[in-house]
């Protein structure tokens, strides 16, 4: 980090590796701790030095850790900061146990030796063994050719309704008890299974297509003495692979060498952890020097011993044994699958983990069988109906037994008809009635529901208002069975990078000497002439234009303006790539973060051009004058310091310190606070209101004697073997005092279009939005304010406040979270990933690995349980109470989990930063477990896959991070703003439609089928059907299907515009108001009442009729009841439909028309002559319809069924609305309370303004610069050798356009 002219002593390494490895090439940007003797078993003490700090999880500040000596280890771990860059250790210091104490270092990989690697086997079951090392083939599909039929049938018969129908079909095949033809249920059953199987097959074929696209990506594998073009699926553990710039890493690989200085390799991990800043990896110095040619790589036989595959993305420990020497390995030497090579021409790697053993695949999880709430409710209702039918059949069977006994007593001469015993006949009659009444669970309802789900999915695909034209991405429903879930979502878990933002950072405003310079008004549409043409180094891409500021810069008369831009050109870690030969003035910058790139590019366009750097100099072009500054020290940025400083000697000889960082740390180090400083604070407040990312700039002139004294203390601190980081921090802090404020910069992290409006609308819909991101806390919070997820009047709870609240929760008998004080405060929760997991890993190192082999259902539960260990951060002891048994401890963990989830659920917003893919999934699992709500996860990267799979509904955005999230999602969108229409319009419509469909279907089934029960009371309980057989067969197929299908596909209670204008309407789905147990009971009661009216009204009137107008015979009676039933349910559908169109009228008329046509046909004389037993109702309808008195009976029955229901539906809502108005008047106007006084133990320092500091830089680059690692080109692999290693065809394939993810 900070180095003066004297270099820091280097750690001793085994073998020919004297050069220092840059600290912290991991993901954290924090400190490194050297651990001696902590390698795998078999490594002798003193042979290696393992840099374990590189594996810290993101955002942890990488606290230095004292590791206890373990049996078999060489010696105790020591405090050994590896270099003067260990600034992240200044945070809290905890005595955590060694993370890898119980890790099994049984993974051995030998380079270029497939035979050696293939000999390892692992036991599966009994004597069955398989190869230990997996291939690189990825299979995310559920089925294959052989497993599709049995597995799909197994899944389908998990539905209780399918089991019920299967039992009835088996019973129907028994002639003695069958009352309906065998094909009446078996044919629809086969159709239903076929439809669902086809849907599942189509979905899985998409996964197979995605798998093939990934497995067939090209790569270069060392085969013999040259690299050959192969596919990803051909990779094996131990292969040496060549990667080019912009290639995706195909497997977890040990970096062997690269064409960059010191074999550095720059990778972009946005698809893994969501971070946009570049990270660097570095090969071991021994492989960098020795493996300089392809011949040497082909003869390379090094053996890597490391930990078994695991899901810890930021941790890796192992060693390389080569030529009888051992070299330590850590996460800084590993290229993870899914990373993209950036700013590196060529690199070479050794495959360590392949396929499903890779860390990203360990985090992806498995495909879950997702079931909607209505689907699960239907399973329970089918059981209820089945039990009810069985009870009714038992009653009818007993009734048959009594009636037969009485019949035999009175008619002894007919004893031959009843040859069997009464019990036997009652037994057979029971099964006959069970088959007859099985239609109360109509199979046609399940068949129609499949078409309804499919139709609503097609409407989503066809919605042009969710079409994203810039990328040609339409909305797509990849799953056709989750539409109604879209109308019941209560929690949305969203990624940040690429989901809420565009991944585009632009220089937007700046403040110099208290004066704000924003873009000129005409600059919004781009000026006709580029104002930077006077500068030959301008790249022409800067959209910021301010004529006044540009005039001050060109006149060069304002010292503050000059120092402002000079600081931006000097204080950074940007590197200059080689310029194109045809345009030497077009510099290519290599920035570690988009923030630094935006700032240095802005300075470049304003005439302060960063030209080049060496180990101890920086060359810039200041308004056409080239100036060389000697770099005396670089004090690197990290998450604790929140600032970066560069101490330089100007060409004139003066020494100056340039500092940039967060306003909270810069302002407390200023020499004085005057009018200019207060004006800058006002500007920062204004920038924060505009949700811009800010940095404060300051400088200080340092006297020569002060520098000499400081430089001596700095060198002494750099040589310390213990507590070096603390000493360096103190020395840096001494220099970074008495600063003079120059101003501030404001960078815009562009949101996607419509994100704030979408979040605001979704919050009105009572949907809670949680942001789960791998980015830093400052960046995530700033985006939270930008998208209006957070507001200034919210109380943002961080880890300390959460600890205090939950401690108070336990002290107050677990009742704090139900107090009204929390409901009166607008709360937001902001936590880091390390808050969720580090202590869990410290105490249960091998727990995560043991879970990997468990079943998926149990694994999901254990994912959520791991989160309970976060409460050990809440002031509880690190070790579990010794007197507590496992059952009590499990109960305590459940209470702790519930306490945290309850607190988070009472917050208006929750932001989880620096979380891993698995942590995202377990947070979703926790909410699902304790709140039983519908969750939705939305993201666009591979790091979101596990979250998307775990949530009830997964939405993938076709964004910049690839297509892996899309390929694992249920719905695809082009932009986040389309989520509003997907939920509030399509989701709500689908829920309303399916609920009306189910309620109406249950009603009409009961209204039509319960008359069979009433009829049984009058026919001796013989199981004789009342209706004509063809009426039963065609009732659900033609006579009543079209109107209910219209409801399921086209019904709208309000228009799409009204749904978006009144998002409060969405709440009905969240509360399950439209279909629940009570609605089901109402539908059943309504149907039973309708059947009673239709049957008994007809029965009572027909008793006293005689002559031609009589309908007391069986056929006429059946026709009157059937016609009354059909017209009654038709009137019901007319009453419940709210969206009337010509199509709606047509469906009703067609249904009645089908009845008239089919009854005329089936009751015709010529069909009666063909088969009198099949068509027995000869002219029955014609005789009934020709009698006006009988039609009056039908009209009377329909009227009695319709008018009372109509009156209730008009009166009840009116009374409900009146009562709501009265309650509102009694309550009076409500005011939200934003004070925190009622809540105990929460005290936070109040600030007059909110800091909008955010900077996505990371630690480590400064050390590479000062040590020259990033600058000098050693004897490693050169670009020429790299290009010679490939055949022309292979080189062409390697340089092909970027693979699509």
Sign of the dihedral defined by the CA atoms of residues 1259, 1261, 1264, 1269, in that order: positive
Residue 1193's contacts (CB-CB under 8 Å, 6 or more residues apart) are: 1097, 1098, 1101, 1102, 1111, 1120, 1124
Residue 1064's contacts (CB-CB under 8 Å, 6 or more residues apart) are: 764, 765, 766
| Cβ neighbours of 654 (radius 10 Å) | 12
Element (H, E) at 659: strand 655-661
User: Token pair 């003495």 is at which residue?
Assistant: 225
| Cβ neighbours of 590 (radius 10 Å) | 16
| DSSP assigned state of 640 | T
- 3 state DSSP class of 160: helix
User: Token pair 């200034």 is at which residue?
Assistant: 792
Residue 10's contacts (CB-CB under 8 Å, 6 or more residues apart) are: 18, 19, 20
Tokens of 792: 């200034």
Residue 435's contacts (CB-CB under 8 Å, 6 or more residues apart) are: 168, 171, 172, 177, 178, 179, 180
Active site residue 495: yes
Provide the terminal-to-terminal Cα distance of the chain, rounded to the nearest Å: 36
- 3 state DSSP class of 940: coil
Nearest by Cα to 380 from 154, 160, 155: 160
Helix then strand count (H, E) for the chain reads: 45, 37
Beta strands 501-512 and 515-517: pairing type?
Answer: antiparallel
User: Token pair 């089945």 is at which residue?
Assistant: 386
| Cβ neighbours of 566 (radius 10 Å) | 22
Give the CA dihedral 1143, 1148, 1149, 1154, nearest 10 degrees: 120
- 3 state DSSP class of 1286: strand
Element (H, E) at 829: strand 827-832
Considering the candidates 27, 495, 595, 860, report the single residue annotated as catalytic. 495
**Rounded CA gap, 1 and 32, in Å?**
12
Question: What are the beta bridge partners of residue 827?
Answer: 795
| DSSP assigned state of 984 | I
> H helices within 2-123, ranges in order?
114-118
**Under 8 Å between Cβ of 23 and 282:** no
Residue 964's contacts (CB-CB under 8 Å, 6 or more residues apart) are: 271, 941, 942, 945, 1301
Per-residue b or e along 35-67, where b marks 16 or more CB atoms closer than 10 Å to that residue's CB: bbbbbbeebeeebbbbbbbbbbbbbbbbbbbeb
**Under 8 Å between Cβ of 601 and 539:** yes
**Under 8 Å between Cβ of 1205 and 1086:** yes
| Burial category of 1156 from C-beta neighbours within 10 Å (exposed 0-12, middle 13-18, buried 19 and up) | exposed
Nearest by Cα to 774 from 247, 490, 360, 282: 360
Tokens of 143: 């089925």
| Cβ neighbours of 173 (radius 10 Å) | 10
Cα–Cα distances (Å) from 539 to 574, 588, 590, 600, in that order, read 16, 10, 14, 12
**Under 8 Å between Cβ of 773 and 497:** yes
**Under 8 Å between Cβ of 989 and 1055:** no
**Rounded CA gap, 1045 and 1147, in Å?**
9
Q: Which residues are the active-site residues?
A: 495
């Amino acid at each position: 980090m900070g180095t003066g002219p004297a270099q820091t002593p280097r750690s001793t390494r085994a073998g020919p590796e004297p050069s220092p490895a840059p600290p912290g090439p991991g993901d954290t940007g924090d400190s490194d701790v050297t651990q001696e003797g902590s390698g795998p078993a078999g490594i002798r003490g003193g042979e290696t030095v393992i840099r374990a700090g590189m594996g810290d999880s993101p955002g942890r500040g990488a606290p230095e850790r004292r590791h206890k000596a373990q049996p078999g280890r060489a010696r105790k771990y020591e405090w050994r900061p590896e270099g003067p860059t260990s600034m992240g250790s200044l945070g809290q210091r905890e005595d955590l146990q060694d993370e890898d104490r119980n890790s099994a270092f049984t993974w051995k990989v030998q380079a270029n030796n497939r035979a050696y690697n293939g000999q390892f086997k692992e036991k599966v079951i009994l004597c069955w063994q398989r190869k230990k090392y997996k291939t690189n083939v990825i299979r995310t599909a559920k089925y294959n050719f052989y497993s599709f039929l049995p597995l799909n049938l197994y899944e389908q018969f998990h539905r209780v309704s399918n089991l019920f129908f299967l039992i009835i079909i088996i019973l129907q095949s028994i002639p003695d008890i069958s009352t309906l033809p065998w094909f009446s249920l078996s044919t629809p059953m086969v159709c239903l299974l076929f439809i669902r199987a086809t849907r599942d097959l189509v979905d899985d074929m998409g996964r197979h297509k995605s798998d093939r696209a990934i497995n067939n990506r090209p790569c270069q594998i060392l085969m013999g003495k040259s690299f050959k073009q192969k596919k990803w699926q051909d990779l094996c553990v131990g292969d040496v692979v060549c990667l080019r710039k912009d290639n995706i890493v195909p497997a977890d690989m040990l970096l062997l060498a690269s064409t960059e200085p010191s074999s550095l390799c720059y990778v972009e991990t946005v698809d893994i952890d969501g971070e946009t800043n570049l990270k660097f990896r570095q090969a071991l110095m021994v492989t960098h020097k020795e493996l300089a040619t392809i011949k040497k790589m082909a003869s390379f036989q090094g053996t890597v011993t490391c930990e078994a595959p695991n899901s810890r993305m930021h941790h890796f420990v192992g060693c390389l044994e080569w030529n009888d020497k051992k070299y330590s390995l850590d996460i800084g030497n590993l290229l993870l699958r899914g990373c993209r090579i950036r700013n590196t021409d060529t690199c070479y790697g050794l495959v360590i983990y392949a396929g499903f053993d890779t860390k990203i695949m360990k985090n992806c999880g498995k495909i879950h069988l997702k079931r909607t709430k209505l689907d699960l409710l239907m399973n329970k209702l089918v059981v209820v109906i089945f039990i009810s039918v069985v009870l009714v059949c038992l009653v009818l069977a007993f009734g048959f037994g009594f009636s037969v006994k009485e019949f035999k007593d009175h008619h002894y001469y007919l004893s031959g008809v009843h040859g069997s015993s009464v019990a036997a006949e009652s037994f057979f009659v029971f099964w006959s009635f069970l088959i007859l009444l099985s239609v109360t669970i109509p199979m046609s309802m399940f068949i129609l529901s499949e078409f309804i789900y499919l139709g609503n999915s097609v409407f989503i695909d066809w919605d042009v208002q969710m079409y994203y034209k810039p990328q040609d991405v339409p909305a797509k429903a990849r799953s056709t069975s989750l539409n109604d879930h879209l109308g019941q979502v209560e929690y949305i878990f969203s990624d940040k990078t690429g989901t809420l933002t565009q991944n585009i950072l632009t220089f937007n405003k700046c403040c110099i000497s208290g004066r704000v310079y924003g873009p000129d008004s005409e600059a919004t549409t781009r000026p006709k002439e580029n104002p930077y043409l006077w500068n030959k180094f301008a790249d022409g891409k800067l959209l910021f234009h301010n004529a006044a500021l540009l005039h001050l810069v060109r006149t060069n008369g304002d010292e503050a303006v000059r120092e402002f831009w000079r600081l931006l050109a000097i204080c950074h870690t940007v590197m200059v790539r080689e310029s194109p030969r045809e345009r030497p003035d077009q510099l290519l910058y290599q920035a570690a973060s988009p923030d630094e790139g935006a700032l240095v590019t802005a300075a470049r366009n304003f005439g302060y051009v960063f030209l080049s750097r060496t180990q101890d100099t920086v060359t810039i072009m200041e308004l056409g004058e080239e100036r060389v500054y000697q770099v005396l020290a670089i004090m690197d940025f990290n998450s604790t310091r929140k600032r970066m400083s560069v101490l330089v000697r100007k060409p004139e000889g003066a020494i100056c310190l340039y500092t940039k960082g967060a306003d909270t740390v810069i302002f407390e180090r200023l020499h004085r606070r005057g009018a200019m400083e207060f004006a800058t604070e006002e500007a920062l407040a204004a920038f924060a209101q505009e949700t811009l990312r800010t940095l404060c700039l300051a400088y200080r002139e340092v006297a020569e004697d002060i520098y000499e004294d400081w430089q001596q203390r700095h060198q002494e601190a750099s040589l310390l073997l213990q507590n070096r980081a603390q000493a360096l921090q103190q020395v840096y802090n001494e220099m970074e005092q008495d600063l003079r404020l120059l101003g501030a910069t404001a960078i815009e992290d562009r949101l996607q279009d419509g994100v704030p409006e979408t979040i605001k609308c979704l919050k009105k819909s009572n949907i809670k939005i949680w942001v789960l991101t791998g980015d830093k806390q400052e960046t995530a919070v700033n985006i939270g304010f930008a998208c209006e997820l957070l507001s200034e009047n919210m109380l943002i709870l961080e880890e300390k406040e959460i600890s205090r609240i939950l401690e108070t929760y336990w002290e107050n008998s677990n009742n704090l979270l139900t107090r009204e004080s929390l409901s009166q405060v607008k709360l937001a929760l902001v936590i880091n990933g390390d808050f969720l997991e580090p202590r869990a890993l410290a105490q249960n190192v091998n727990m995560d690995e043991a879970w990997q082999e468990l079943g998926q259902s149990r694994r999901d539960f254990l994912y959520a349980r791991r989160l309970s260990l976060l409460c050990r951060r809440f002031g509880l002891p690190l070790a579990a109470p010794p007197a507590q048994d496992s059952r009590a401890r499990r109960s305590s963990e459940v209470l702790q989990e519930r306490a945290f989830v309850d607190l988070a659920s009472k917050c208006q917003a929750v932001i989880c930063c620096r979380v891993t893919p698995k942590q995202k999934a377990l947070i979703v699992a926790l909410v699902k477990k304790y709140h039983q709500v519908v969750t939705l996860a939305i993201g666009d990267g591979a790091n979101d896959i596990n979250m998307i799979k775990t949530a009830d509904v997964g939405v993938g955005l076709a964004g910049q991070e690839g297509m892996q999230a899309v390929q694992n999602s249920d719905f695809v969108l082009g932009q986040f703003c389309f989520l509003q229409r997907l939920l509030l319009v399509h989701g709500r419509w689908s829920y309303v439609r399916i609920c009306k469909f189910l309620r109406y279907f249950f009603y009409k089934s009961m209204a039509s089928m319960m008359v069979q029960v009433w009829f049984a009371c009058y026919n001796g309980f013989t199981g004789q059907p009342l209706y004509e057989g063809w009426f039963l067969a065609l009732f659900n197929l033609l006579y009543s299907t079209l109107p209910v299908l219209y409801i399921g596909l086209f019904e709208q209670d309000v228009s799409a515009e009204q749904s978006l204008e009144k998002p409060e309407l969405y709440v009905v789905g969240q509360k399950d108001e439209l279909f629940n147990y009570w609605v089901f009971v109402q539908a059943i009661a309504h149907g039973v009442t309708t059947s009673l009216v239709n049957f008994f009204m007809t029965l009572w009137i027909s008793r006293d009729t005689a002559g031609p107008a009589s309908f007391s015979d069986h056929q006429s009676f059946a026709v009157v009841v059937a016609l009354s039933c059909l017209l009654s349910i038709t009137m019901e559908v007319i009453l419940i439909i709210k969206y009337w169109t010509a199509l709606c009228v047509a469906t009703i008329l067609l249904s009645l028309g089908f009845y008239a046509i089919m009854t005329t046909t089936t009751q015709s004389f010529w069909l009666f002559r063909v088969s009198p037993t099949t068509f027995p109702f000869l002219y029955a309808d014609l005789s009934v319809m020709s009698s006006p008195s009988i039609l009056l009976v039908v009209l009377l029955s329909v009227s009695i069924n319709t008018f009372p229901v109509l009156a209730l539906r008009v009166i009840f809502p009116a009374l409900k609305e009146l009562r709501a108005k009265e309650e509102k008047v009694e309550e009076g106007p409500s005011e939200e309370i934003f004070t925190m006084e009622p809540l105990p133990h929460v005290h936070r320092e109040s600030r007059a303004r909110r800091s909008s500091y955010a900077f996505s830089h990371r630690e480590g680059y400064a050390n590479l610069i000062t040590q020259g690692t990033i600058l000098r080109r050693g004897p490693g692999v050169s670009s020429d050798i790299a290009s010679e290693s490939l055949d022309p065809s292979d080189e062409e394939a390697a340089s092909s356009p970027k693979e699509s993810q």
